[in-house]
Chain A
Amino acid sequence: DGGITQSPKYLFRKEGQNVTLSCEQNLNHDAMYWYRQDPGQGLRLIYYSQIVNDFQKGDIAEGYSVSREKKESFPLTVTSAQKNPTAFYLCASSGRQGGRTQHFGDGTRLSIL
């Protein structure tokens, strides 16, 4: 089945540690996105990528980094510079085939130990 797979589902990070969240899609979508969701707040865009080897900062990119070496993959690294990383992280993708609407993975919950 086509879809977006995020892993892990739950992740714990120690202070000062970088962690990488995985996002893979087999929908043949060109565009991919990373969002963060905090309680009582809407989703906020961290980074997005329209094509391979290209990505742009979203509204809250500080403390995060991404890469887009393959069309199917858009990993997000939460660096130690992100002082408040505890949140629900959602990856999405969109493409012409899907009418350009964004479809989401089932998310990764990141917590600080």
Chain B
Amino acid sequence: RKEVEQDPGPFNVPEGATVAFNCTYSNSASQSFFWYRQDCRKEPKLLMSVYSSGNEDGRFTAQLNRASQYISLLIRDSKLSDSATYLCVVNKEAGFGNEKLTFGTGTRLTIIP
């Protein structure tokens, strides 16, 4: 089983739609969680951290379920500029300097005009 699993997609959704991505992780001791966005042939960029209580940043909502080892990302009112690959990222270890991140393979999203 992969340490971080994501549906690779592609997800092709119309502009303005709401889209949700899921991610599961295998290590129950994982400490912190992130969503990164990666545009085609570019570097990953941090989209948002994921907190146990759930958190929102504009049109983006992230949630964490530690019991089920499940992370989600919801994008509302999707824009053409949201087209990208979304990477689910998990930090296995605690403590500064021990940020050994494990990356999912990514979910590719295309917003259709």
A82 at the interface (CB under 8 A from B): no
Complex Cα–Cα for A30 and B110 (A): 36
Q: B49 contacts which chain A residues (CB < 8 A)?
A: 101
A103-B97 in contact (CB<8A): no
Q: B43 contacts which chain A residues (CB < 8 A)?
A: 90, 104-107
Complex Cα–Cα for A44 and B46 (A): 17
Q: Nearest chain-A residue to B6 (Cβ)?
A: A42
Interface residues on B, range: 20 to 34
Q: A50 contacts which chain B residues (CB < 8 A)?
A: 97-98
Helix, strand, loop or mixed for chain B's interface?
A: loop
A45-B44 in contact (CB<8A): no
A106-B103 in contact (CB<8A): no
Complex Cα–Cα for A59 and B23 (A): 21
Closest 9 A/B residue pairs (Cβ): A42-B103, A50-B97, A104-B43, A43-B103, A42-B105, A106-B43, A107-B43, A31-B97, A101-B46
Beyond A40-B8, A41-B105, A42-B104, 20 additional contacts (C-beta under 8 Å) are A30-B96, A35-B103, A42-B105, A42-B106, A43-B101, A45-B100, A45-B101, A50-B97, A58-B100, A88-B41, A90-B44, A94-B99, A96-B96, A100-B96, A100-B99, A101-B49, A101-B99, A102-B46, A103-B46, A104-B45
Q: Which residues of A contact B (CB under 8 A)?
A: 30-31, 35, 40-45, 48, 50-51, 58, 88, 90, 94, 96, 100-107
